[in-house]
Amino acid sequence: MNRDGKIVAAICAAPSVLGKCGILEGKKATCYPGFEDKLIGAEVVSEPVVADGNVITSRGLGTSMEFGFELIKKLVSEEKVQEIREQIVFMYNLLK
């Protein structure tokens, strides 16, 4: 999938598997705290969600909504993300 440019996504400790497979080589990535050394070849960042090319990584359960939104953005559109954000009870709506 990665070789074909398809989206590859992993959350929590799962990005460490992408590191072992060489998928993170030269890409920015994030993961559950304490697994950073397993992101072989990646530029590790502490963002909740990181999209670099076709690879999307996220830190864990607390970042799963933003992770999902990033997947929707890549698979559908930013407009669809905004539509969904407006329709659900999510902190994003409460801050408006």
- How does strand 43-44 pair with strand 49-52? unpaired
Within-domain flag for 19: yes
Give the pLDDT score at 94: 58
With H, G, I as helix, E, B as strand and everything else as coil, classify residue 52: strand
Within-domain flag for 34: yes
Q: 């996220």: which residue's tokens? A: 58
Within-domain flag for 1: no
Which helix or strand (DSSP H or E) is residue 56 part of?
strand 55-58
Taking only the tens place, the pLDDT of each residue in 8-67 is: 999 999 999 999 999 999 999 999 999 999 999 999 999 999 999 999 999 999 999 999
Which residues span the domain enclosing 37?
Answer: 8-94
Within-domain flag for 56: yes
The total of other beta-carbon atoms located within 10 Å of residue 39's CB is 22
Give the lowest-confidence range in 2-11, 42-51, 76-85: 2-11
CATH value at residue 75: 3.40.50.880
Active-site residue identified among 9, 11, 12, 39: 12
Number of independent structural domains in the chain: 1
Residue 6 has pLDDT above 70, yes or no: yes
Within-domain flag for 2: no
Could you tell me which residue, 2 or 34, shows the higher pLDDT? 34
Within-domain flag for 85: yes
Does 12 qualify as catalytic in the annotation? yes
Tally of helices (H runs) and strands (E runs) in the chain? 4, 5
